[in-house]
Chains A and B, each alone.
Chain A
Amino acid sequence: MLSVTGLKKQYGQFRAVDDVSFELHPGDIMGFIGSNGAGKTTTIKMLATLLEPTHGSASLDGVPLDPNQIEVRKQIGYMPDFFGLYEDIRVWEYLDMFASLYGVPHSERQTVIGEVLELTDLTFKRDAMAQSLSRGMQQRLCLARCLVHDPKLLLLDEPASGLDPRARAELKKLITQLGEMGKIVIVSSHILPELADFSTVVGIIEKGQMLAFGKVEDVVRGLEVQKMISVHVLDRANEASMFLHGKEHVTETNLVGSEQLRFGFTGTPQDQAELLRAMVSAGFQVMEYREETANLEDVFMKVTKGALN
Chain B
Amino acid sequence: MSSWWGRQKATYFGNATAIKEYRVQLRSTKSAWMLFLYVGILVLVALTSYAAIAGRSGDGSVSMAGFQQSLSGFYFAVLGIITTAILALAPVLAASPIVAEYDRRSMEIVLATPITPKYFLLGKYLGACRQLILLLFLSLPITAVGVAFGGSTWQEFLEQYLSFFLQGALAMAIATIVAVSTKKVATTVFVTYANLFAISMIGSITGITAFFGPSTPTPSGAQIGPFYGLLLPYSGALTVGSVTLVNSIEVPNWIFAIILAALGVKLCLLGAGSVLSKDGAVEIKSLRLHGVVSLAVLSSLFGFLLAPTILGPMTAGIGGSGGPPIAPSGIFFTLAFPMAAAVFFCVSTTSCFGLIDERKTREDGLFNLRRTFTGRPSSGLPYLLVLALAGSIPLWVVWGLYARGDWVVAVIHSVWFFVAVAFYWSCARLLSCGFLTAEAAKKSFTGILALLAFLVPAGLGVLDAAMISWIGSNWVPWSIRYPMIPGVELDLETMKIIVLAILTVGLTYLGERIKRSKRERLGVI
In the bound assembly, the distance between CA atoms of A73 and B24 in angstroms comes to: 26
| B525 proximity list for chain A (CB < 8 A) | 12-13
| A88 proximity list for chain B (CB < 8 A) | 24, 27-28
| A97 proximity list for chain B (CB < 8 A) | 16-17, 19-20
A12-B525, A13-B524, A82-B105 known; A98 and B113 CB under 8 Å? yes
> Is the pair A86, B24 in contact by a Cβ cutoff of 8 Å?
yes
> Is the pair A84, B360 in contact by a Cβ cutoff of 8 Å?
no
> Is the pair B113, A102 in contact by a Cβ cutoff of 8 Å?
yes
B interface footprint on A83-116 (CB within 8 Å = 1, 0 otherwise): 0111111000100011011110010000000000
A71-B114, A73-B113, A82-B105 known; A93 and B23 CB under 8 Å? yes
A interface footprint on B514-525 (CB within 8 Å = 1, 0 otherwise): 000000000111
> Is the pair A74, B20 in contact by a Cβ cutoff of 8 Å?
no
A82-B105, A84-B106 known; A89 and B24 CB under 8 Å? yes
Q: Indicate whether B110 reaches chain A with its CB closer than 8 angstroms.
A: yes
A50: contacting residue among B27, B104, B105, B111, CB under 8 A: B111
Residue of B nearest to A74 (CB): B114
Q: Indicate whether A48 reaches chain B with its CB closer than 8 angstroms.
A: yes
> Is the pair A89, B20 in contact by a Cβ cutoff of 8 Å?
yes
Q: Is the interface of B mostly helix, strand, loop or mixed?
A: loop
Q: Indicate whether A264 reaches chain B with its CB closer than 8 angstroms.
A: no
Residue of B nearest to A48 (CB): B112
In the bound assembly, the distance between CA atoms of A87 and B29 in angstroms comes to: 12
> Is the pair B278, A84 in contact by a Cβ cutoff of 8 Å?
no
B14: contacting residue among A82, A98, A100, CB under 8 A: A100
Of the listed residues B23, B28, B524, the one surrounded by the most CB atoms of chain A closer than 10 A to its CB is: B23
In the bound assembly, the distance between CA atoms of A11 and B75 in angstroms comes to: 60
In the bound assembly, the distance between CA atoms of A72 and B113 in angstroms comes to: 9
> Is the pair B109, A93 in contact by a Cβ cutoff of 8 Å?
no
B114: contacting residue among A52, A80, A89, A102, CB under 8 A: A102
In the bound assembly, the distance between CA atoms of A52 and B114 in angstroms comes to: 16
In the bound assembly, the distance between CA atoms of A106 and B116 in angstroms comes to: 20
Q: Indicate whether B489 reaches chain A with its CB closer than 8 angstroms.
A: no
In the bound assembly, the distance between CA atoms of A102 and B112 in angstroms comes to: 10
> Is the pair A78, B112 in contact by a Cβ cutoff of 8 Å?
yes
In the bound assembly, the distance between CA atoms of A68 and B117 in angstroms comes to: 12
In the bound assembly, the distance between CA atoms of A79 and B112 in angstroms comes to: 9
A88-B28, A93-B20 known; A101 and B106 CB under 8 Å? no
Residue of B nearest to A129 (CB): B27
Q: Which chain B residues in 11-58 approach chain A with CB under 8 Å?
A: 14, 16-17, 19-20, 23-24, 27-28
Q: Indicate whether B108 reaches chain A with its CB closer than 8 angstroms.
A: yes
> Is the pair B115, A101 in contact by a Cβ cutoff of 8 Å?
yes
| B27 proximity list for chain A (CB < 8 A) | 88
**A-side interface size class:** 20 to 34
Residue of B nearest to A50 (CB): B112
In the bound assembly, the distance between CA atoms of A88 and B524 in angstroms comes to: 45
Q: Is the interface of A mostly helix, strand, loop or mixed?
A: loop
Q: Indicate whether B281 reaches chain A with its CB closer than 8 angstroms.
A: yes
Q: Indicate whether B359 reaches chain A with its CB closer than 8 angstroms.
A: yes
Of the listed residues A13, A82, A86, A102, the one surrounded by the most CB atoms of chain B closer than 10 A to its CB is: A86
In the bound assembly, the distance between CA atoms of A67 and B20 in angstroms comes to: 25
Q: Indicate whether A307 reaches chain B with its CB closer than 8 angstroms.
A: no
> Is the pair B106, A86 in contact by a Cβ cutoff of 8 Å?
yes
In the bound assembly, the distance between CA atoms of A100 and B278 in angstroms comes to: 24
Q: Indicate whether A242 reaches chain B with its CB closer than 8 angstroms.
A: no
In the bound assembly, the distance between CA atoms of A82 and B106 in angstroms comes to: 9
In the bound assembly, the distance between CA atoms of A12 and B281 in angstroms comes to: 21
Q: Indicate whether A301 reaches chain B with its CB closer than 8 angstroms.
A: no
The distance from the CB of A49 to the nearest CB of chain B, in whole angstroms, is 8
| B104 proximity list for chain A (CB < 8 A) | 84-87
> Is the pair A50, B281 in contact by a Cβ cutoff of 8 Å?
no
In the bound assembly, the distance between CA atoms of A191 and B105 in angstroms comes to: 23
| B20 proximity list for chain A (CB < 8 A) | 86, 89, 93, 97
| B115 proximity list for chain A (CB < 8 A) | 70, 101
The distance from the CB of B16 to the nearest CB of chain A, in whole angstroms, is 4
| B14 proximity list for chain A (CB < 8 A) | 100, 106
In the bound assembly, the distance between CA atoms of A248 and B110 in angstroms comes to: 61
| A85 proximity list for chain B (CB < 8 A) | 104, 106
In the bound assembly, the distance between CA atoms of A13 and B278 in angstroms comes to: 20
Of the listed residues A52, A70, A97, the one surrounded by the most CB atoms of chain B closer than 10 A to its CB is: A97
| B108 proximity list for chain A (CB < 8 A) | 50, 80, 84
| A84 proximity list for chain B (CB < 8 A) | 104-106, 108-109
Residue of A nearest to B280 (CB): A68
| B16 proximity list for chain A (CB < 8 A) | 97-98, 100-101
> Is the pair A101, B113 in contact by a Cβ cutoff of 8 Å?
yes
Q: Could you list 19 further interchain pairs (A-B, Cβ under 8 angstroms) beyond the known A50-B112, A102-B114?
A: A11-B359, A11-B360, A12-B525, A13-B524, A13-B525, A49-B112, A68-B278, A68-B281, A76-B112, A78-B109, A78-B112, A80-B105, A85-B104, A86-B104, A89-B23, A93-B24, A97-B17, A101-B17, A101-B110
Q: List 8 A-B contacts (CB under 8 A).
A: A11-B359, A80-B108, A84-B104, A86-B104, A88-B27, A88-B28, A93-B24, A97-B20
Identify the 5 closest CB pairs spanning chains A and B, nearest first: A100-B16, A84-B106, A101-B113, A73-B114, A88-B27
